[in-house]
Amino acid sequence: MITIPELIKKEWSNKQDAIVLTTVSEAGIPNSIYATQAALFNDNKVLIANNKFKKTLENIENSKKVTVLFITKETKSYQLKGSVCYKTEGDEFNDMKKWNRADLPGYGVAVVEVQEIFSGAEKIV
Protein backbone atom coordinates (compact mmCIF):
# COMPACT_ATOMS: atom_id res chain seq x y z
CA MET A 1 0.00 0.00 0.00
CA ILE A 2 1.22 3.50 -0.83
CA THR A 3 0.39 7.03 0.23
CA ILE A 4 -1.51 8.93 -2.45
CA PRO A 5 0.69 11.90 -3.48
CA GLU A 6 -0.55 15.48 -3.11
CA LEU A 7 -0.51 15.87 -6.92
CA ILE A 8 -3.09 13.09 -7.27
CA LYS A 9 -5.23 14.49 -4.44
CA LYS A 10 -5.22 17.86 -6.21
CA GLU A 11 -6.10 16.28 -9.56
CA TRP A 12 -8.87 14.22 -7.89
CA SER A 13 -10.46 17.41 -6.59
CA ASN A 14 -10.53 18.61 -10.22
CA LYS A 15 -11.91 15.37 -11.69
CA GLN A 16 -14.92 15.03 -13.93
CA ASP A 17 -18.06 13.86 -12.14
CA ALA A 18 -17.62 10.12 -12.55
CA ILE A 19 -14.87 7.54 -12.33
CA VAL A 20 -14.55 4.21 -14.10
CA LEU A 21 -14.11 1.15 -11.88
CA THR A 22 -12.82 -1.97 -13.60
CA THR A 23 -13.02 -5.37 -11.92
CA VAL A 24 -12.22 -8.84 -13.19
CA SER A 25 -14.31 -11.99 -12.89
CA GLU A 26 -13.00 -15.27 -11.57
CA ALA A 27 -12.75 -16.38 -15.22
CA GLY A 28 -10.63 -13.32 -16.08
CA ILE A 29 -13.38 -11.35 -17.85
CA PRO A 30 -13.12 -7.59 -17.21
CA ASN A 31 -16.14 -5.48 -16.27
CA SER A 32 -16.17 -1.67 -16.08
CA ILE A 33 -18.74 0.60 -14.50
CA TYR A 34 -19.25 4.33 -14.49
CA ALA A 35 -19.57 5.46 -10.85
CA THR A 36 -20.54 8.96 -9.77
CA GLN A 37 -20.21 8.44 -6.02
CA ALA A 38 -16.52 8.04 -5.14
CA ALA A 39 -14.08 9.69 -2.75
CA LEU A 40 -10.53 9.50 -1.46
CA PHE A 41 -10.23 8.18 2.09
CA ASN A 42 -7.29 8.76 4.40
CA ASP A 43 -4.07 8.84 2.40
CA ASN A 44 -4.25 5.51 0.61
CA LYS A 45 -7.79 4.48 -0.34
CA VAL A 46 -10.51 5.19 -2.86
CA LEU A 47 -14.10 4.52 -1.80
CA ILE A 48 -16.84 3.76 -4.32
CA ALA A 49 -20.44 3.64 -3.12
CA ASN A 50 -22.45 0.59 -4.08
CA ASN A 51 -25.66 2.04 -5.37
CA LYS A 52 -26.34 -0.57 -8.06
CA PHE A 53 -23.46 -3.09 -8.09
CA LYS A 54 -24.27 -6.54 -9.37
CA LYS A 55 -21.53 -7.99 -11.57
CA THR A 56 -19.06 -5.61 -9.90
CA LEU A 57 -19.86 -7.00 -6.46
CA GLU A 58 -19.49 -10.58 -7.71
CA ASN A 59 -16.10 -9.66 -9.18
CA ILE A 60 -14.95 -7.92 -5.98
CA GLU A 61 -15.81 -11.06 -4.01
CA ASN A 62 -13.94 -13.33 -6.46
CA SER A 63 -10.95 -11.28 -7.60
CA LYS A 64 -9.34 -8.69 -5.40
CA LYS A 65 -7.65 -6.54 -8.09
CA VAL A 66 -9.19 -3.37 -9.57
CA THR A 67 -8.39 -0.20 -11.46
CA VAL A 68 -9.98 3.19 -10.83
CA LEU A 69 -9.73 5.57 -13.79
CA PHE A 70 -10.50 9.24 -13.42
CA ILE A 71 -10.23 12.12 -15.85
CA THR A 72 -9.66 15.73 -14.88
CA LYS A 73 -11.66 18.61 -16.31
CA GLU A 74 -8.59 19.32 -18.47
CA THR A 75 -8.88 15.71 -19.78
CA LYS A 76 -5.75 14.33 -18.11
CA SER A 77 -6.32 10.74 -17.04
CA TYR A 78 -5.04 8.78 -14.05
CA GLN A 79 -5.28 5.12 -13.13
CA LEU A 80 -5.16 4.03 -9.49
CA LYS A 81 -4.54 0.30 -9.28
CA GLY A 82 -4.83 -1.87 -6.21
CA SER A 83 -6.65 -4.43 -4.16
CA VAL A 84 -10.29 -4.15 -3.18
CA CYS A 85 -12.60 -5.33 -0.44
CA TYR A 86 -16.26 -4.69 0.22
CA LYS A 87 -17.69 -3.31 3.47
CA THR A 88 -21.17 -2.77 4.86
CA GLU A 89 -20.01 -1.34 8.19
CA GLY A 90 -17.00 0.37 9.71
CA ASP A 91 -15.11 3.61 9.10
CA GLU A 92 -15.13 3.48 5.30
CA PHE A 93 -18.84 2.61 5.17
CA ASN A 94 -19.70 5.42 7.60
CA ASP A 95 -17.65 7.88 5.58
CA MET A 96 -19.44 6.85 2.36
CA LYS A 97 -22.81 7.45 4.00
CA LYS A 98 -21.77 11.10 4.60
CA TRP A 99 -21.05 11.94 0.93
CA ASN A 100 -23.21 9.48 -0.99
CA ARG A 101 -26.24 11.27 -2.44
CA ALA A 102 -29.27 10.98 -0.14
CA ASP A 103 -31.48 9.63 -2.94
CA LEU A 104 -29.13 6.67 -3.55
CA PRO A 105 -29.16 3.50 -1.42
CA GLY A 106 -25.48 3.14 -0.50
CA TYR A 107 -25.77 -0.60 0.18
CA GLY A 108 -22.04 -0.87 0.83
CA VAL A 109 -18.69 0.48 -0.25
CA ALA A 110 -15.86 -0.85 -2.39
CA VAL A 111 -12.61 0.01 -0.62
CA VAL A 112 -9.62 0.21 -2.94
CA GLU A 113 -6.18 0.16 -1.31
CA VAL A 114 -4.06 1.98 -3.88
CA GLN A 115 -0.80 0.22 -4.79
CA GLU A 116 0.18 1.91 -8.07
CA ILE A 117 -0.70 5.14 -9.86
CA PHE A 118 -0.26 5.87 -13.56
CA SER A 119 -0.92 8.73 -15.93
CA GLY A 120 -0.90 7.12 -19.36
CA ALA A 121 2.25 4.97 -19.50
CA GLU A 122 4.00 7.09 -16.86
CA LYS A 123 4.16 5.47 -13.44
CA ILE A 124 3.58 8.15 -10.77
CA VAL A 125 4.05 5.78 -7.81
Instruction: List average pLDDT for each run of 10 residues in the chain, which is 125 residues long.
Output: 94 97 95 97 97 96 94 97 98 98 97 97 95
pTM over 0.75: yes
**HSE (CB half, 13 Å, CA atoms) of 18?**
7
- Report the pLDDT value the prediction gives residue 1, as an integer from 0 to 100: 76
